[in-house]
Amino acid sequence: MKIGDKINELRKKQDITQEKLAAYLNISYQAISKWENGGSYS
């Protein structure tokens, strides 16, 4: 399992949107999307 898959799985289990997770982490929702799609890990 890739890290993006794990982030997506855990986020969906908690019923959290990419936007909410991004706000909690103080980053953009686009970063979350890139992580989940394997585009970037930084």
> Could you give the CA distance from residue 18 to residue 26 in angstroms, rounded to a whole number?
12
Q: What is residue 42's predicted lDDT score, i.e. its pLDDT?
A: 54
Q: What is residue 41's predicted lDDT score, i.e. its pLDDT?
A: 58
Helix axes 3-13, 29-36, angle to 10 degrees: 120
Tens digits of pLDDT across the chain (42 residues): 789 999 999 999 999 999 999 999 999 999 999 999 987 655
Write phi, then psi, for 11 (nearest 5 degrees). Answer: -65, -45
CA distances from 32 to 2, 10, 13 (A): 14, 13, 16
